[in-house]
Chain A
Amino acid sequence: MLKMMESLPLLATGILNILLGAYVIYENPKKALNLGLFFFALGASGWILSLWATINFPPALWVSKITFISPLVIVAFLAFFVYELEPKSFSRSLLAPVFILAAPSVFIILVLVNKVVTSVGIRNNHIINTYGSAYPFYGMLVLGYILGSLFYLLYKYHKAHGVDVLRLKYALLGLALMLIPSVITNLILPLVFKAQNFNTVGPISATFMVILMTYAIVRYHLLEIWVVVRMGVIFSLVFAAISFVYIVIVASVSQYTGLGYIYSLILSSLVITLTFEPLKQFIEKATDRIFFHKHYNFNNVIEELTSTIHTASLDLERLLKIFNEIVKSTFKVSEAEFAVLTSKDTFLASSDSKKDIELSPNNPLIEFLKMNEGFILNRDEIIHELERDRVRLKVVHIDLLPAAYEELVKLDFTLAIPISSDSQMIAIYFIGAKSSNDLFTTEDLRLLDHLTSEAGVLINNARLYGDLKKLDEAKSNFISVVSHQLRTPLSAVRWSTELLLDGTVDLKAQKEFLKDTYKNSLFVIERLDDMLTALDVEDKNLELKKEPCRLRPLIDEIVKENEFLVHSKKIDLTINLEPGSDTVECDTKKMKKMLEVLLNNAFWYVPESGGSVTLAGQKRVYGNEPFLEISVSDNGIGVSPDEQRYMFEKFFRGEAAKRMSPNGFGLGLFIVRAFARAHGGDAHFESAGRGKGAKFYFTVKREEEKKTHA
């Protein structure tokens, strides 16, 4: 029965080791590290398969010699493997591998000349070796190599950073898993207890090492492996502990009490059954503490974040700072920074951030993230991919990846997490390395993904709030301006009527005051109309009452209304309507308003003397469509280049215009453009600069001509 129990797993693990070794070589046959592990696996497989052969076939000394040579291969290549494992602490030389491989070679000869094992036999289904004079030295060499490798590994681990830490962790873990059972069953038990019953456990435990190392080398997704490895480690440790308990009990019971094999088996099974659950829990806890620093609870972090953030204000800078603190303390990272999309299309970190981050839209990092929506740029993952010359990440524009990676390295961050809203990237969250140099696990990334989407909502809200605030400011400013502009004519009305009511005013003055009162009330009404028009424009609520409209009488009316200004400033006014451009299908009231705004502006802003204003009407064709174009040019204050783009914004008034005539609303040109657009046209202007005059145009579509063509 025992023969069967040991035989099958032996064969299976022997073959498994060969397969794993072959896979590692397939991954990269040129790498010394892979080569080392391949020989290591080969040694383990030789050990296991020779034991299997000894049990299943008549014991032969040459097979048993393989059993003894294999551990030498294993430890030699273990040392070589550890030596090759990054980071390198010494300068490379060929001497070290030669030295590492030399000593076991000597002992391989000793094994071959029967100095280690002299004969082999099977008793009670167990392999019984007769040892030669060199056996204790053989044992010490094997142990020495293992311990040497272990200490060297610990030393390297102490010095390592980043990805290397993870690699070395795997190596340490594998070594520990291999060492514990094999040292017990193949060194302590045979040497101290003279028990050779369990010498097949050792080779099987070497498989742990091979499995873990294969995993560590060939893993392509560094992040996924943690979860799997954690379960594997816990399972392996539980298995090792149970084996240990089983071995110790069975060995000591059968050695010292003389009880039969079956009783010791029952006893050990009982102990294992009773201790299994607490043992497993203990190992789980210990494993998490030693190997998997898991300090946070997913839901707690999210809860903390939402409760903290919802009690804070809408101040984005403050919110993001709070957010950063939570992320820093949760993931134990020293740095975390938001770069938020600005109006200039760049991504900018907050002013008090430690690093000066401003990324232009053509930065490869930005380009790459924009093309791969939701992809988290992870420095550790990418370096691993790039090292292998074989990128398995599912991304588009892979050619941008190296440059994007370089940018991330330049900024000295580990993660770049894009934050989007309405499929527009509105921010990037940069996170530095963990202070422990551990990698970000899938769980970490999942939580970060969740947290950053919360941040996305915050950023978006704050942006909307910012826009709203700007709008609110514009509104307050508007109310303040309107209040002033309306108070002025109303003051005039008030004072004039006070004097009129007083009864002391003579007839001539009475008429004057009444005229002013009338004019001022009209002014107030017009301004109120302008405001409502602006609202209608905003609401896209303009209605046109189209009718054939003659321009000349409208122009004359406007000039007459401004007679005083034109006369007092001695303005040289020219009106030049091209034949056929005098009549147009349009909304007469709106046409008058457009002409009024342009003419009034020109009258106002030409110099006190020597002003000249020209109104011209011309038929034009733009893009096969017939238009009427009206232009008003003057030699007035002009428009400075930095103010040009605001000219048609509502409530905007140029500095020069404000100084020249402080009582304006800043709605005229806004209304002209809206009216022109409602007529299928548009408005624009030309100005050589401040003080150099200006020419304002507006166009309306000529409907009637289109009809005759059709």
Chain B
Amino acid sequence: MPNLDVLLIEDEDSLIKPLQFAFEKRGITLRVAKTGDEGVFAVRKHVPDLVLLDLVLPKMNGFEVLKEIRRDPSTAHIPVLILSNLAREGQMKRGMESGANGYIVKSNASIEAIVGTVLSMMGE
């Protein structure tokens, strides 16, 4: 899986580290943005192949980030996988309705499963 550009928008260091490590093992280097607005900026600067998006973020929340991505024609097509600990039905529904391509509740998924989902979404 060479040269896959995956952007992780996540504010929690202790989550970023294991994710980076697990993706690194498969040869994917994660780009990381730690706030919502940084995330939008990173997406616009270089269109990634996939976005891993947390919802509860400083400065601009995940829903707003997703809206921005879908609004801009140059980024609207990017697959977005929500990676959040908001685990209520309504929250998940809202995430999918905002235009996400998948929704994973962090604590309910193993790190391998997350990597697996990303790879399958990228057609690998």
Contacts and interface: CB of A to CB of B under 8 A. Distances in A.
Given A491-B15, A491-B107, A492-B15, A484 B86 contact: yes
Nearest to A492: B14
A498 B61 contact: no
B22 A487 contact: no
A664 to B, nearest CB: 11
Given A487-B106, A504-B25, A495 B12 contact: no
A512 B112 CA distance: 19
B14 A498 contact: no
Contacts of A480: 88
B87 A499 contact: no
B18 A499 contact: yes
A516 B17 CA distance: 9
A483 B88 CA distance: 10
B56 A494 contact: no
A509 interface: yes
B21 A505 contact: yes
Interface in A644-664: 659-663
Interface string B98-115: 000000011100111000
Contacts of B22: 495, 499
B111 A495 contact: yes
A494 B107 contact: yes
A513 B56 CA distance: 23
B17 to A, nearest CB: 6
Contact of A662 (B18, B25, B57): B57
A662 B106 CA distance: 16
Interface string A463-488: 00000000000000000100110011
Contacts of A488: 12, 15, 85, 106-107
A489 interface: yes
A489 B56 contact: no
A520 interface: yes
B96 interface: no
Given A498-B110, A498-B111, A487 B85 contact: yes
A490 interface: yes
A48 to B, nearest CB: 89
A505 B57 CA distance: 28
Given A484-B87, A490-B107, A496 B12 contact: no
B41 to A, nearest CB: 15
Contacts of A504: 25
A498 B21 CA distance: 11
B20 to A, nearest CB: 10
A513 B85 CA distance: 20
Contact-residue size bin, chain A (C-beta under 8 Å from the other chain): 20 to 34
B62 to A, nearest CB: 10
Contacts of A491: 15, 85, 106-107
Interface string B60-98: 110000000000000000000000011110000000000
Contacts, number: 72
Contacts of B61: 659, 662
Nearest to A662: B56
Contact of A495 (B11, B19, B57, B88): B19
Given A499-B111, A663-B56, A519 B87 contact: no
B27 interface: no
A492 B11 contact: no
A127 to B, nearest CB: 99
A498 B58 contact: no
A498 B112 contact: yes
Contacts of B45: none
A492 B18 contact: yes
A95 to B, nearest CB: 83
Contact of A660 (B56, B58, B85): B58
A512 B57 CA distance: 23
Nearest to B59: A659
Given A484-B85, A488-B85, A495 B56 contact: no
Contacts of A505: 21
A488 B22 CA distance: 18
Contacts of A492: 12, 14-15, 18
A498 B111 CA distance: 7
A702 B98 CA distance: 56
Contact of A513 (B17, B88, B107): B17
B18 A487 contact: no
Given A483-B87, A488-B85, A659 B58 contact: yes
A516 B112 CA distance: 19
Contacts of B21: 499, 505, 509
Interface in B12-67: 12-15, 17-19, 21-22, 25, 56-61
A494 B18 CA distance: 10
A495 B12 CA distance: 13
A660 B56 CA distance: 11
A495 B87 contact: no
B14 A496 contact: yes
B110 A494 contact: yes
Interface string A657-674: 001111100000000000
B56 A484 contact: yes
Contacts of B58: 659-662
Contacts of A512: 17
Interface in A489-530: 489-492, 494-496, 498-499, 504-505, 509, 512-513, 516, 519-520
Contacts of A496: 14, 17-18
B100 to A, nearest CB: 17
B25 A519 contact: no
A499 B112 CA distance: 9
A9 to B, nearest CB: 88
A520 B85 CA distance: 15
A148 B4 CA distance: 110
Nearest to A520: B14
Contact of B11 (A487, A499, A513, A662): A662
Nearest to A489: B14
A512 B19 CA distance: 13
B12 A663 contact: yes
A495 B15 contact: yes
A492 B112 CA distance: 14
A516 B105 CA distance: 20
A505 B21 CA distance: 8
A505 B22 CA distance: 10
A513 B106 contact: no
Contacts of A489: 14
B85 to A, nearest CB: 4
B13 to A, nearest CB: 8
Given A484-B85, A512-B17, 9 more contacts: A487-B107, A495-B22, A499-B18, A504-B25, A505-B21, A519-B14, A659-B60, A659-B61, A663-B12
Interface of A: 480, 483-484, 487-492, 494-496, 498-499, 504-505, 509, 512-513, 516, 519-520, 659-663
* Interface pairs A-B: 7 shortest CB-CB: A487-B85, A492-B14, A495-B18, A491-B106, A516-B14, A487-B107, A662-B56
8 contacts: A494-B111, A495-B18, A495-B22, A495-B110, A513-B17, A659-B61, A662-B56, A663-B12
